[in-house]
């Protein structure tokens, strides 16, 4: 099994518990993980050429959010900022890879991809079949294959 190393980053208003797996030259920032077994599984799927970084929100007293956290006010501001960005005719040129889970298993289907297509020029991805909301945890091999293809390594 892949060895995991735990870290704590104390930032201005946030304390973040995260783990790393592997020591390869390629670095992947990953999703938040509910279970460390999934992090090890995801790293195994990508292989030894990568080092995986993963936020761990469930750490005992290791995670602290900002006083002005992600609340309704912040979401409303994000929506306003996105609309202003779009109203100026702007869009991101950065390639975006996004998948939604299968609607039959409580996923968002194509909604996530459609959302990104409103603000980015190069959006690819689709629906991760037989997957709900936590695609990296439910299908790490699928994610590894798609990410490696996206970056031209698969």
pLDDT digits (tens, 9 = 90+) for 105-114: 878 889 989 9
The mean pLDDT of the chain is: 77
Question: How high is the pLDDT of residue 8?
Answer: 80
Question: How high is the pLDDT of residue 37?
Answer: 60
Question: How high is the pLDDT of residue 16?
Answer: 74
pLDDT digits (tens, 9 = 90+) for 1-27: 567 777 887 777 777 777 777 777 666
Q: At which residue do the structure tokens 């993963």 appear? A: 54
Buried-state track 83-109, b at ≥16 Cβ within 10 A, e below 16 = eeeeeeeeeeeeebbbbbbbeeeebbb
Does residue 116 sit in helix, strand or coil? Answer: helix
Pick from 143, 140, 134: which is nearest to 105 by CA? 134
Structure tokens at 27: 């670095």
Question: How high is the pLDDT of residue 60?
Answer: 45
Backbone angles phi, psi at 32, to 5 degrees: -75, 145
pLDDT band at 117 (very low <50, low <70, confident <90, very high): very high
Question: How high is the pLDDT of residue 26?
Answer: 66
DSSP 140: H
Lowest pLDDT segment from 10-24, 28-42, 118-132 = 28-42
96 DSSP β-pair partners: 123
Question: How high is the pLDDT of residue 68?
Answer: 61
pLDDT digits (tens, 9 = 90+) for 45-56: 777 777 776 766
17 DSSP β-pair partners: 8
H-run or E-run covering 74: helix 72-87
pTM above 0.75, yes or no: no
Backbone angles phi, psi at 106, to 5 degrees: 70, 20
């Amino acid at each position: 099994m892949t060895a995991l190393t735990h870290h704590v980053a104390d930032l201005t208003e946030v304390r973040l518990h995260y783990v790393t797996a592997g020591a390869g030259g390629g670095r992947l920032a990953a999703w938040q993980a509910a279970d460390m077994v999934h992090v090890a599984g995801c790293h195994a799927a990508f292989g030894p050429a990568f080092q995986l970084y993963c936020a761990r929100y469930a750490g005992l007293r290791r995670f602290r959010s900002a006083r002005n956290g992600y609340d309704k006010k912040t979401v409303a501001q994000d929506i306003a900022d996105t609309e202003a960005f779009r109203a100026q005719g702007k869009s991101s040129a950065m390639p975006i890879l996004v998948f939604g889970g299968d609607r039959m298993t409580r996923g968002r289907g194509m909604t996530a991809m459609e959302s990104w297509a409103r603000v980015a020029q190069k959006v690819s991805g689709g629906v991760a079949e037989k997957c709900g909301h936590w695609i990296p945890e439910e299908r790490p091999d699928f994610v590894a294959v798609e990410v490696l293809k996206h970056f031209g390594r698969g």
